[in-house]
Amino acid sequence: MNSLVPTEKIWRNGAFIRWEDARIHVLSHVVSYASSVFEGIRCYETPRGPAIFRVDRHMRRLIDSARIYRMEVPWTAEQLGDAARELVAVNGLRSCYIRPIVLRGYGPLGVYSGNNPVEVFMACWEWGAYLGEGALAEGIDACVSSWNRLAPNTLPVLSKSSANYMNSQLIKMEAIANGYQEGIALDAMGNVSEGSGENIFVVRDSRILTPPLAASVLEGITRDTVIQLASDLGIPVLETPIPREMLYIADEVFLAGTAAEISPVRSVDRIPVGSGARGPITEKLQREFFAIARGLRADRHGWLTAVEVCENVV
Among all residues, whose Cβ is closest to ligand PPE? Answer: 40
Instruction: Tell me: does residue 257 bind ligand PPE (CB under 6 A).
Output: yes
Q: What's the closest the beta carbon of residue 258 comes to ligand PPE, in angstroms?
A: 3
Cβ neighbours around 164 below 10 Å, total:
21
Contacts with ligand PPE by CB under 6 A: the residue count is 15
Kindly tell me which of 46 and 222 has the beta carbon lying closer to ligand PPE.
222
Contact 269, 14 (CB under 8 A): no
Contact 150, 167 (CB under 8 A): yes
- Dihedral (C-alpha) 132, 95, 303, 84: value to the nearest 10 degrees? 120
**What's the CA gap between 248 and 253, in Å, rounded?**
10
Instruction: Tell me: does residue 183 bind ligand PPE (CB under 6 A).
Output: no
Given candidates 218, 229, 230, 265, which one binds ligand PPE under the rule CB under 6 A? Answer: 218
**Environment class of residue 205 by beta-carbon count within 10 Å: exposed (0-12), middle (13-18) or buried (19+)?**
exposed
Instruction: Tell me: does residue 187 bind ligand PPE (CB under 6 A).
Output: no
Instruction: Tell me: does residue 247 bind ligand PPE (CB under 6 A).
Output: no
Instruction: Tell me: does residue 161 bind ligand PPE (CB under 6 A).
Output: no
For residue 282, the Cα-to-chain-centroid distance in whole angstroms is 18
Per-residue DSSP letter, 280: H
Does 160 qualify as catalytic in the annotation?
yes
Which range, of 18-26, 137-145, 216-224, 303-311, touches ligand PPE by CB under 6 A? 216-224
Tell me the residue type at 311: E
**What's the CA gap between 39 and 58, in Å, rounded?**
7
Instruction: Tell me: does residue 258 bind ligand PPE (CB under 6 A).
Output: yes
Kindly tell me which of 7 and 225 has the beta carbon lying closer to ligand PPE.
225
Q: What's the closest the beta carbon of residue 312 comes to ligand PPE, in angstroms?
A: 31
Contact 184, 223 (CB under 8 A): no
Paired residues of 201 in beta bridges: 254
Instruction: Tell me: does residue 162 bind ligand PPE (CB under 6 A).
Output: no
Instruction: Tell me: does residue 194 bind ligand PPE (CB under 6 A).
Output: yes
List residues binding ligand PPE (CB under 6 A).
Answer: 40, 168, 194, 197-199, 218, 220-223, 257-260
Question: What is the set of active-site residues?
Answer: 160
